[in-house]
Chain A
C-alpha cells in the first residue's frame, strides 16, 4: 500500500491567535442555546419503553383466565439474588383446572432483592412469569416492596397464549390418549 504523506501545514497567523476558532466556537454554543432541549421531564413525560424491556417481574394468566404458574419452583431455584419465594399448593379436585395439579399457594417477589436479570422469565416452562414494561417500583416500607401473588397477577394481567398446552393435554386425555 502506497504511503501518503500528509503535509503538516504551519498555522497561519489568524489560527495562531485562536480568535477565529473561538468565534466559531461561540457560534456553535449559541446555536445550542436556542436548540430544542434533550431533557425528558420525567413525571410528566414518560419514556417510550422498547419491546423486550425487562421491567418488574409479574405473573400472567392465559386468555381463559387460568393462572399459568404451576409452582414448579424453577424460577425460585434460578433466581440469583434469591428474591422469589414460592409456597406450592394443590388445585382443588372440583376446579375446572384440576388436571394442572399444582398452583402456587403463595408467590412472593422481594423487589428490594430483584436485580431484573430476567432469568426467571427465561427458565419458566409455562411462560407464567414475565418481566413487563413497568420500570418504576417504589414503596415506603420494606413490606410494601414485596410483591405478593395477588399484586403480581394485578401487575401481570393476561397475555396472549398460542399453545394453550393444558387444554390440549386435557382434550387428548378425554380422547383416550396419554396426556403426556
Chain B
C-alpha cells in the first residue's frame, strides 16, 4: 500500500494529498460551524439545532437520537442547501473579482494545512518522526506567509461587491491584519531563538518546536506556554485578530456593517468564505498547540515517546509501538488539543464584547506591539546569557 503510493508520479501524489486536504477540511469546516452553533446555544441556555434526522439513522437505537441531538444531520442539510440553492450574482458587482474572492479565500486556507504537522510515530530506533503532508523546513514561516494571503480575499470581496458596507469591511480587514501580524511574528521569535541553539542547524520547523518540548528533564519537558507565557498570550490575541474572530471581528461586525465583506454573497460562495474562516481557526489553534502546548505530547513533562514506552512495558505487546498505533494516538492527542483551542475561540466569542474599531487599532499598535518588542528583547537577552 505504502510502496504503491510511493511509486506514483509526484504529481499524482500531490493531487492525492490535495484531495485529502479538501476531503478533510470541508467536513471539518462544517463540523466547526455546527460546534459554533451548539456552543453558542449552550452558553445562551438554548438547545441549539437538534431536529434534523435521516430515516436510516433514526432506526439505530441510541446512536441515532444522539447524533440527532448534537445536530450532525443539520451539517449535511446546511451543506446540501448551500450547494443547491440559487447562487445569485448581483448586477452591480465586478463579476471576475467577485467570483475570484471566495476562491482566493480557500487557497491559502487549504495550502497552510499541508505545512502543519499533525502527529508523530516512533521509528524502529525510537526516533520520533512527525507526520505531515509537507514537512518543510521553513515551517512556521510558510504558515505565516501563506495564511496572511487570506486577507486578499476579504479585500477583493469587499471591493468587487461595489457596495459601501462590504468595502468598509474589506478596508477594516486589511488594516487589522497588518496591525496584528507584526505582534504575532514578534511574539514567536523568542520560541525560535530558544530552539535554534548555537551549533545546531537553523530551523523554523514546527515539528522541531515540539521535539524541543518533549526532551527529558524539568526544563526540557516544559511546554513553551509555561516558559514564555507572555509570548503565548500575545500570540493568542493576535490569532484572534488574524482569524477575524470576536472580539476582533471587524471585517464582519454584523451590527454596524450588515454582514461586512460577505454582505453581497450567498449560497456556496458564502459557504466557501466560512469554510476558509474555520480552516484558519483550525490552523491557528494547531499552530498554537505546536508552538506552546507541546504538540502531540500528552501532558507537560510526559512526552509521546515516554507514554508509548510505558504502555509498551505495561501491556508488553509490540503492537503498541507499531507506527500506525502510535501515529493514531498522537493524532488523537493533537486533535484533542486543537478542538480545545477551537472551543476556546467559541467560548471567548460569547464572553467578550466586540471592540470598537479605534480600540482594535489602539490595542494592536499601542499595547501589543510594545509588549511584544519588550518581550522579545527580554528573552533575547536571557537566551543569550543562558545559551552562551
Binding site for B on A (CB under 8 A): 22, 25-26, 28-30, 32-33, 35, 37-39, 41
Contacts and interface: CB of A to CB of B under 8 A. Distances in A.
A37 B347 contact: no
Nearest to B344: A26
B45 A38 contact: yes
A35 to B, nearest CB: 6
Interface stretch (B90-98, B125-133, B348-356): B348-356
Interface string B36-64: 00010011111100000000000000000
Contacts of A29: 43, 347, 350-351
Contacts of A30: 347
Contacts of A26: 347-348, 351
Interface string B102-128: 000000000000000000000000000
Contacts of A35: 45
13 contacts: A22-B352, A25-B351, A29-B347, A29-B350, A29-B351, A32-B42, A32-B43, A37-B46, A37-B47, A38-B46, A39-B45, A39-B47, A41-B47
Interface of B: 39, 42-47, 347-348, 350-352
Contacts, number: 32
A32 B44 contact: yes
Contacts of A32: 42-45
Closest 8 CB pairs of A and B: A25-B351, A39-B47, A38-B45, A29-B351, A33-B42, A29-B43, A26-B351, A32-B43
Contacts of A37: 42, 45-47
Nearest to B51: A41
B6 to A, nearest CB: 46
Nearest to A38: B45
Nearest to A23: B351
A17 B58 CA distance: 51
Contacts of B45: 32, 35, 37-39
A41 B45 CA distance: 13
A39 B48 CA distance: 9
A35 B44 CA distance: 10
A28 B352 CA distance: 11
Contacts of B348: 26
B204 to A, nearest CB: 30
